[in-house]
Amino acid sequence: MSRTVTLGLLVALIAVHIALATNYALLTPYRQAGILLGQRDPKTGLPQKIVDVGAPDERQHVNYVIHLLEGKGFPVFSPTDPNLGEDYQSHQPPAFYLLAAGWSKLTGASDLTVRDSGLKLRFLNVLIGGVTVLGTFYLAFWGFRRPDVALCAAAFAAFLPMFTALAGAVSNDPLLICLCTWVLALTARCLMWGWTMQKVLIIGVLTGLAMLTKTTALSLVPILLLAAFLAYRYPANPEAGAWGDDTRGGQVKPQPSKAMIAIAAVLAICIAGPWWARNQSLYHDPLAIGAFNDAFKLSAQKSQIVSMIEATEPGTSSEMTYWKDYIGWWTARSFFGVFGYMDIWMNERGTSFTGVSQKGAAPNTLYRLLLAVTVLCVLGWILAFGKAEWKEYRAVQIMNASFALIVLILFLRFNMQYFQAQARYLFPALAPISCGIAVGLTHLLGGRRQFAFPAIALLFLGVNLYAISILPEQFVKRQVPAEMRSDTPPLG
């Protein structure tokens, strides 16, 4: 595939991703109160009231930006704050919020409590999502030297409905995902094409910015150390070239020098260090983990879910049910797309709740199909590890798989205390996952690998269009006050 055709298709993917994310931004309510059809008020049995039926935690992220725009400086998290429900994102690092405040001033989003200004702010993440799709392409292209794999990976990231919807909302997650993607992409380029001081400096800066966006970015630290080790185990081939531009950025070396590694580490620490020092002064914890835990006190706990399982399903293993049915199955579906506050589902009823019990939950034909395709591709990715065709890319394969594994372990650890079966917590590893899907499908198709890219693109583009078609009606249902609803019986 020629460079012109490849880049043309890539531009088209990014443009369609931006169009889809813009649609999600326009369709999703902004700071609109309503109800959740999948949750019940334990006192009344009626649908649970909520102050915002739109994107999860968006209201609180916007409040952080408003605090900056009002000239009040960085907010300080306090677990005793009577307004905690509005300010529980105050413990977050500042990079996204500073960027959002600057964007708001640039675009004239003067009052973020109203929808028009909110849509302008949402468009910042729409653009960041497009940059993430670009980074996913280059992670695959630089890592595997194959345009077909790169386009397939970019298509999966661009058209994954949950990521596309996330890119249409105000959150610090898209910036984190974008920065992690580009750190991995540049590291893959170094592993395959050779190391230069310029690229290592950029990696250090992006890593520092990622850690200044969200604490999850600390997952990059062991990966970069692993990459330095892999560079000596699998030396780069600086002579190969990537569309003729492999020598940009100074002298190319097969392995990084100790000076390169040290300078990158110092850069990252200099960027994130002042915020850590502030946290240590305020919370006696550089990462503000204690403050984070306080912020989640009101969220669903694992112990609560396990107790509910024991009460409603006697005779079953509550632990196994929790991990299989609640964490596993809920997370798998939310990976593809569950919208609003985990309340709008792409199944035959639009909600996981039937008004009687979870055992009577709605069918999930679309989710099962998407999960089967994805699992098959992951199996193909695993099989490709041992094949000669993919052997020269082993360093990048190991790096990608390791980062995805670390993010998964952190997610599981989090759910050992809190019930947060939301796949968006896995999306910092979206680019490595997308590469794995692309490698796996390409490997499984063998001589028909040219169909991998259009198959992934058409399948997930179709799912996006379906999701967009159901959202208006579903959101309208949730904007009706709970007292006025008569079609949803009390829990019983």
DSSP for 438-490, written as a single string: HHHHHHHHGGGGGGHHHHHHHHHHHHHHHHHHHHHHHHHHHTS-GGG--SSPP
Distance CA 222, CA 160 (A): 27
**Does a structural domain hold residue 316?**
yes
Distance CA 308, CA 328 (A): 17
**Does a structural domain hold residue 364?**
yes
**Does a structural domain hold residue 408?**
yes
In this structure, how many other beta carbons lie within 10 angstroms of the beta carbon of residue 321? Answer: 17
Q: Count how many domains the chain has.
A: 1
What is the maximum alpha-carbon separation in the chain?
71
Give me the residue label for tokens 């792409």.
346
* Sign of the torsion formed by the C-alpha atoms of 249, 253, 255 and 257: negative
**Does a structural domain hold residue 306?**
yes
Residue-by-residue pLDDT tens, the chain, 492 positions: 788 999 999 999 999 999 999 999 999 999 999 999 888 777 787 888 999 999 999 999 999 999 999 999 999 988 888 888 899 899 999 999 999 999 999 999 989 999 999 999 999 999 999 999 999 999 999 999 999 999 999 999 999 999 999 999 999 999 999 999 999 999 999 999 899 999 999 999 999 999 999 999 999 999 999 999 999 999 887 766 555 455 555 678 888 999 999 999 999 999 999 999 999 999 999 998 887 777 777 678 898 899 888 888 887 888 999 999 899 999 999 999 999 988 999 987 776 653 333 444 567 899 999 999 999 999 999 999 888 889 999 999 999 999 999 999 999 999 999 899 999 999 999 999 999 999 999 999 988 989 999 999 999 999 999 999 999 999 999 987 645 444 444 332
* Consecutive H or E run containing 8: helix 3-27
Distance CA 9, CA 381 (A): 24
Distance CA 28, CA 162 (A): 13
Backbone angles phi and psi of 93, in degrees to 5? -60, 160
**Does a structural domain hold residue 492?**
no
- pTM, two decimals, is 0.93
Alpha-helix runs per DSSP H in 214-316: 220-233, 258-283, 289-295, 302-312
pLDDT for position 248: 52
Burial class (CB in 10 A: 0-12, 13-18, 19+), 447: exposed
Cβ atoms of 326 and 316 within 8 Å: the answer is no
Structure tokens at 332: 């798998």
* Consecutive H or E run containing 288: none
**Does a structural domain hold residue 491?**
no
**Does a structural domain hold residue 59?**
yes
Structure tokens at 385: 């590890």
> Smallest Cα–Cα separation from 160: which of 24, 326, 342?
24
pLDDT for position 447: 86
Burial class (CB in 10 A: 0-12, 13-18, 19+), 108: exposed
Backbone angles phi and psi of 257, in degrees to 5? -80, 165
Distance CA 83, CA 396 (A): 46
Q: What angle do CA 458, 150, 459 make, to 5 degrees?
A: 15
Residues 6+ positions from 136 with CB-CB distance below 8 Å: 153, 154, 156, 157, 158, 181, 185, 430, 431, 434, 435
pLDDT for position 452: 95
pLDDT for position 362: 61
**Does a structural domain hold residue 405?**
yes
pLDDT for position 83: 85
Distance CA 326, CA 305 (A): 9
> Smallest Cα–Cα separation from 459: which of 161, 204, 215?
161
pLDDT for position 217: 97
Distance CA 344, CA 87 (A): 25
- Which residue range(s) make up the domain with 69? 3-484
Distance CA 172, CA 424 (A): 11
pLDDT for position 29: 96
Structure tokens at 394: 């082993």
Instruction: Find residue 418's DSSP bridge partners.
Output: 301
Task: Return contacts of 420-425, CB within 8 angstroms, 24+ apart.
Answer: 420/299, 420/300, 421/326, 421/327, 421/330, 421/331, 421/334, 421/342, 422/56, 422/331, 422/334, 422/342, 423/162, 423/331, 423/332, 423/334, 423/335, 424/56, 424/162, 424/166, 424/173, 424/334, 425/216
DSSP string, 9-22: HHHHHHHHHHHHHH
Structure tokens at 128: 């960041």
Structure tokens at 242: 């990537």
pLDDT for position 245: 53
* Consecutive H or E run containing 344: strand 344-345
